[in-house]
Structures are given as structure tokens and as C-alpha cells.
Structure 1
């Protein structure tokens, strides 16, 4: 049985495969193709942020990509193709690639775009011609899949969700019909699925049956050696072809395969594929039923259920639900930030304030706030705005299709309406205001870190002010109650000293209060939530509440940083970016770097 890897995230070097003979076109089909071309133009405007390069174009093809995969990247043409089938049954006229909420309807397709963007950004090496079609080339291409994704999420952690949806709906969905229980195929299943666990794309709890069956087929020692290889691949540089081929040779050796020959199982006349593919390959192939294939099916269903629970499609009544949520957080923020001074509100009816006193900020803290302010200002900078116009005459770029249409209109005696020349005009977009919410944990488990907590809160609040005059920040302390420390526009002159002795943590209320006072859930500003906590919440429902709120804010485009003052042992919710600190006054650069990355990923 032939077993090859036909990548969903296919990379074609040089010219693409010849297109199949076109079917007879109809007016309806042409209109649909034009609609998908408009979607491709919208995706072209978004891919630059993912791939960190301005020259890429995206084309959504009604008949599928020219190589038969669900999506393909052609480096020599700076082109990404996506098959229209990846979008399901969505009407292309209703798709708005610029709307983050609209992407919920086509997460797998956006994940395919994100994966191709990972290749465009990080796959800078080329498989030698003599290695193509061999076990060596196949192993190198397989290792590159998780390596490119791992490099992407290091810079854009918010893209994990899209990649996960793509893997579940387009990659793993192609396994059950084609995967036999053979060593080479089992190794590829592990290399494409379990490698993504170690890369941080998939969660082990959802795909552990695949690992169990792969270990059964391969044996413990062989599996461990392959795992060592794919982990090593994630550290290889983007242009290190020699390093990737060396690891691919080690992969073949571990499986007892001849690296210079076609992959084991190929060439026996049967057509089957195993790996990343969703573009029709193997539709008429035999369907062997093995334990690995069954494990992949179970893992696929589990990932799909988790994705539905994590981020369901935005319902028609979303505006009403959003309004209810907004009313709730505004009520909480009015209670935490009443129309009185923080000093008046901190004591009295709501109990004693966690602030014991204030001290003059040290010079290192002032310097750290200034450096972090510059980093936040840089993080809030937006890309240049591009406006594309068309005309009947130069200057600009000639669109051959429009030129032919114009000549045909003229030859037919009608007034030419096609405009074959296009030009792109770029201008800098004004920087939006920056909103920074800071929540500090003052429960008993934080008693050993009260000094760093106070320092971090003061540095962050002043950094937001240094980043720009229109910026706003607010700080709350949460324990048995939520206490307002600073209000928007009023960073503290001195460093507050906290008392951490509370027996519980009301972290959910703290996040809602900052959301309400700063409007962290709404677009129109660069938004950042910073939480200083060990993440060990004993209050009923607080852990789940924090996770739900972090997920909601990151989905809405608000970046979330979690400052870990305990050497990496804090329990950080998914979606938040962990920043491990010991002395915040000396870690402004680390906070700034994490903030730049988180804000860029949240755009």
C-alpha cells in the first residue's frame, strides 16, 4: 500500500502542477468565482501581519488548489492558494476577513491561511531536487510542518486556536480513510500530530490515543528517538536546510528506511495518502481500518468538541448578549470605582484597604517605567493603510484579465468600462489609544511577593502614561474584595505597599471591573490586561471564571499578560502570555517584549 505525505500546508517550489482541464463555465459559476476572488483579496490584506512580509497574495479557488491540497504556498510566486471547500458552505459574499468575529464561521480556513503564513514566514529552506520523492525529502517536509507552526506561535500566540481548528478539520480529518498500522505511517502520524503537542499547538489530553497506538506500532525506544528528533527540529533555524536534512536522515535511520529511496510502502501501485491533505487525494482509495486510524478519529472528535465549547459561532443574538455583558461589567466597575476618591472608597463599608502605605519610587523603577512606556508605544503602532484604486491608464500595475475585457468591450462596440490599471496607495494609520488594566493578587499565597507586586503595578501604570497622553490605565487589588488602587488617567505618584493576607481571591470580579472601566472588550484601542498572581485560586468557581474571562478578552482582541513571580510555577490560564519575573524593576524589557508580542497577536 502506498503511503505518502500530501501536505495540507503544501509548499510548491517553482511552477505549480498543471491545472486540470476546466469544466464548462456558467454565468453562476463565474459569479461565484469572482466572489471568492474578492475573499482572496480581503485575505491578502490580512496575511501580511501573519507572515510578517508585505509581498504575499492570497487566492481562493473555487475548484480547489492546483496541487489538490486544501491550501498551498508557492514561494517563488509569493502566492497562497486556498480551496473554497475549506470554507464549508458559507456564502462568499457574506465573508468579511477584516472582522475577527466573522472568522468564527470559518476557523479551519483561517487556520489554513495561518499555517501557510507560517510557511511563508519561516520555511526559508528548499528540499534539494535529488531528495524530492525520497524518504529523506518526505521526512524533512513532515518535520517542517510542526517546526514552522512552533516558530509562528512563539511570535503570535493568539494564532494557536486557528491552527488547532485547521489541524482538526482539515489535517486529521484525512487520516481515517488512508492510514494503515505500519511503522512508516505510524511515525508520520506521530510526527504530524504528537509533534504539534510538543510544539504547543495541540493538547496531549485530546490526542493521547494516537500516542498510545504509535508507541505500540513503533516500540518505546523508536518512538522516543523520533520524539527527540521532532523536538530538535523545532530549534532549527529558518534557513538551515542542512540541519533539517540531517534530522530527516536520522528519522529514516530510526525507522530502518533507505533515505535515498522512496518512502516505505510506496510504489506498489495502490493510491493512498497519510498525512496533511484535504484536497481530494485518496477519495477513491481503499480504506484500511487500523487502530491508529481509529485513534485519530477519536482525537478529531474530541478536538472538535473542545473547539465548540471554547469558541462557538457568533449567534444572531450576539449583539444582545454583548449588551448584557457590557451592562454587567459596568455595574461591577461602578461598584469598584465609585464616584469618590480611591482613598475614600478603599476603606469604610467595603472593608480595610490592602494598601498599607506608600513609598517613593526608586530610580531603577522610574527608568523601568520609561523603558516599558517606549515599548508599549511601539506595540500600539499600527501597520500602514493600503488603498487600492483602478484606472483606465497608467501609472499602476496592469491587470491582464481586465485589459482583455476592455478590448473585448471596445471590439463589441460598447463603451469600455473595465479599468485594467491598478495602484496601491499607502499611508500611516494614526496610533490608537492604549488601555492597560492591572490586577494584583493580595491573597495570602502572595505574601512572599508583595514587594515585586507593588513595584510591577507602579511600573505598569506609569509606563502606560509614558506611552502617550491619550492612554489610560487602571489598577485593582483583589482578595476577599476588589479594591481600586488607581483610576484611568491617574497613575500613583508613589509606590503603594500591599498587605497580602486574604483567604480567597475574587479574580473574576477584578477582571470585570477593569473591563468595565477601560472597555477592554471593545475594539478601537490597543488593549492590554496584566494580571500579577500565582493563579492559585481557592474561591469557588474563580479558576474557571478567570479562564473564561481571559478567553473572552483574547477572543475580543485584548492581549493578556500574566506576571509570574514564582519562577514559572504559577498556574496561568490558556490564552494568557506568561512573563516570569523575579525583580520587576529589572525586567521592563521582558515585560515590554511580551507586551509587544501579545498586542501584535491580538490585533
Structure 2
């Protein structure tokens, strides 16, 4: 998704071609937009793919607003000529209101020679400023602007925990609280995460900046740029030395900022964070993995039963001590329970109270293994698609709630969630192998979101089925190394007759048969269980 402020496009417009099926919407909203803006020179285009790569965009100088029809659905979902249609398409109408706010109030332009990072900050501050102006002028529009906030945000807006991205979240969400679009309750988790990164004092100073921005006149470019310079100074950024927006390292796992933002977006969408992450990846990259369904074969069922049995039998070697109540000595006398036992005996009842407490040893526990299976469905894996699909089903089907929690994720040009945690698929998903492998990094991060792979308190493992030919091996290696240092082993299963890259901090096995692959994973999993 484009940067949050890229839906505002000063300068000449490159019009998106209209769609005859959506002409009624374009005409109706063009007639309606003067009510929202006070301008009579605006046209609105509603069409699939409109918006300049964003959900919607505004070309204030050209007098043009575009809204992607995807956020409406179908042309006949509502009659745009009727006032009540907005209740049926609140997100799309909210996009129209937001862009109308830009058309009405974004009258300043960035002076030539402004460092890009300063311009970016000014555009971030502009988001809540124009919504504050729109709400002040048309109070009922707040309802629709609230629907739009999550559409204009992206989990990638805060990929790492650093001052720049904490400030970005503050400008996009916390500033909208002071603009009276959102409430403090809406953004409680966001505020906590931002405060952890920035500290209370620096966040208060940033708040002074955005609150002052809310008072800036619509055409006062000098004041907006001055506030943007001040914002950079508070974040410890020197625009002369760092003129462009920081580019995050894709080889780093998302931090608490991303988690808080994903939770916020997922809650608003009525999804779990994992569901939202998977949905977002598919929507952002497109072309997810495809498959057909078939019944598992008898050998596949047998392999699943074997793996399940081996996981059930695995125990750690560590003997744990515990305390247990006992009706007879030795042990520590528990006075209250002794009195209860005596009273039960005096009443002629069989005593059930246990007045003594003794130390005892417990058998080694059966820890729950969190297993992520990442399957490469790129073009180079086409000869092994059937075998790898079989392995994925066996692993997922073998999992039991008390023995293992697994998830299966395919990766090619994007990451596709095939089997969510605690699901046991009834059918084998026969994968179609095509495309590249750039989705590996997203697949690892999605698996971490689903199974909390970096949490040291759980027993975790990642099994990758791939030839290892990835476009960004350095970033992939950094993710693998991070997992290794947090105690999450990575087992890499590579087709025996394919050349590929071998990553450090992995156990790499050459396999080409799904049953053999499952046995290798079982061996490694049991070893990990017994060493826990």
C-alpha cells in the first residue's frame, strides 16, 4: 500500500479511465461533493482500480477525486442518488469525505527544496488537520471519517520499533483523538506502544506539535513545514543528514508497534490478528497460492497416525518437583485441613480433608510443540508440489491439541495461510507451484504472529520445505538467526536432487519423499522435546 499521505496528489492529475458500470456512482458523487467541500469545480471518478494505487486519492489542483470501487462492492449494492446509500457503503463514503476534506482544506504546497523527510512529516500532520477542519465544519462527517481511518492505514506503517515509526503512528492515530475523530479508548493500546518507544515526555512534545498543526490556516505552508522540522528534531532526526524517510530492515521481526497496530486493525475488521495479517498479505501482494482438494491416501493417513503417536510419546527428561496433599504423614501439617478432617470424623463421615502436604516428583511433562511448516510453492518446486502438499497435510493432520499446534503456510510471490493453528484439514491441498520466492520473509513473520515463535516460554520449531533459492538471502538469514537465538530451531527440508542455498543456524536435510520428510521432522521435534 502507498504511504499514508500519498492519496493526496498536488499537481496535474493523470485521470483514471471511467467504468460505464460505475458511471451512476461517479455522477451521483460528483453532484454531491460540493455539499462536502463548498467547491463546485470538482469531479469524482468511481471505478475499480481508481485511487492512484491507494483506496482513494485527491488531486486538489486538478479538481479531481477518485475512489476505488472495490470498497463499494458491486454497482447495485445501493442507489447512490439516495441519501441513505452511505449507510450501506460506510467505508467508501468515508473515503469520499476524507478526500473531500483534502480538496477543501489542503491548500498549502510544499516549498521547493524541502527535504523529503520533512515533507513526509508535514503530510502526516495534514491527515488529522484536514479531518479536524472537516468535522468542525460538518460535525456529522465524523461518523464516516471513523470508518476510513483503518482503510488508510497499513500494518507496514510501523514495521519496527524506532522513533520514526512510533511518531508515524502517533500522527496517524493519536492525533486523530485530538481531532475528535477517534477516542482515547480506540487508541489505548497504540498509545501504550508509542509511549514505550518514545517516552511520555517526548510524546507530550509531539502532541503539542500536532495540536498546533490543527490550528494552522489551510494555506499556511510555512507554518506546516516549520512544525515538520520541529517534529524531526524531537525524534532525533537531522533532515540534512537523513533527508529521506527511513527504510526498515526487512530482516527484522515486527515489534510492539506493529503488534498494537495489527490488533487495532484486526479488532476493527472483526478478525483475529493472525487472520487480519494473512488477509492483508494476500490483498497486498495478490496472486496467493492456489490448490485443489483431494482425499488423503492410505499411506498418508498411516504417516499421520505414526507422527501423532511419536509426538504423544515424547517427554522431556527433566523431573519436576511438586507438592501434593496426603491423608497420612510424613509431610507438613496443614492445621486448617487437620481440623476439617477431625470434624468430619466426629460427625461419622469419612474424612476427605488431607491434613498433610508432602513433596513429590512428577513424571516428565508432555510439552506442547508449536510447529510452523513453510512450503515453497515457487516455480522451481513444481516437480515436488505433490510431495510437499502431502507432507503439509500429514503434519497438520497429525497435530493434537495436547501434543502439537501446527500451522502450514505456502510462500511464492506472497505468503498464503493454508492451515491455521488448531485446524486439522480433512483434505489434502494439492498445491500449484508458480512464481518466485519473495514471500518467504512474510511467511516467517506470519508464522511468528500465529505461533509466537520468539517466545522463550514455549517449545517451538519451524520446518521449511524449499530449495532455498530466495531473492533476499541476507534478510532471510537474519530472521532465521533471530529465531535460533530465541531457542526456536529451524529444520530445512530440501529436495535431494536440487541445488540450493544452505542457511546457517538450520538443520538442513535432503529429502524428496513426504513420508521421509515427516520422519525427519518427527526426529527433530522429539529431540527438541527431550532437550527442553
Instruction: Classify the TM-score, shorter chain.
Output: 0.3 to 0.5
- Give the TM-score, by structure 2 length: 0.47
Greater relative contact order (Cα < 8 A, sep 6+): 1
Larger radius of gyration: 2
